[in-house]
Chain A
């Protein structure tokens, strides 16, 4: 299984919205509604932000939302804040009952 494809970097100004894409195949992203997104600040463990494509864990801001179309999932962050600057990773369940991560996207808040 190959890593999911994410843009290496995205940027936006405070208050703006950004979207990070995550492209897989029909054996992972396209196969199930089991895409999750993780936020990672430098030196910290990843934090779950979105699961099952669109669901937010308790405590995660509703500025974070997820969607999927075919083999591509997306994470949208609205009303960008300085604290959103971090690395973001998508992950998907696969038809082999394993998981796979994306290559990560560095979000810069200008």
Chain B
């Protein structure tokens, strides 16, 4: 059974760096093809794909946010960390992590999401 859960601050100040952790179970980065993606959703708005990291440490970022994002993994802890620099109120959103595979690039299992508010 695959599960994922996001954790991190609920409130960050403008210009600060956001660090979110996705802790998962039911799969491992030791398995070829495995990946974890991050997606966000501002209140009342659409989903936005952010980044993905794969078992072989290949990383892909949304072109519009690439300069602000870093995605890393800790295979031994079954965790993926996303950092986003220079946070702005428009970055207020629910942030989701999701399981993904390289063979069929879909997000098939999702975490519950974590709401991050950017405000001074």
Contact = CB atoms under 8 A, between A and B. Distances in A.
Interface of A: 1, 3, 34, 36, 38, 40, 45-48, 51-52, 57, 89, 91, 93, 96-104
A45 B112 contact: yes
Contact of B96 (A45, A52, A100, A103): A45
A101 B104 contact: no
Nearest to A50: B106
Given A51-B104, A102-B46, A1 B110 contact: no
A53 B37 CA distance: 20
By size class, the interface of chain B is 20 to 34
7 contacts: A1-B64, A3-B46, A36-B107, A40-B47, A45-B96, A51-B108, A98-B52
A89 B113 contact: no
Contacts of A51: 104, 106, 108
Nearest to B112: A45
B46 A99 contact: no
Contacts of A34: 104-106
Interface string B51-92: 010000000111110000000000000000000000000000
B111 interface: yes
A98 B60 contact: yes
B2 to A, nearest CB: 12
Contacts of A99: 37, 49, 52, 105, 107
Nearest to B61: A98
Contacts of A48: 106-108
Nearest to A36: B106
Contacts of A104: 46-47
A38 B62 contact: no
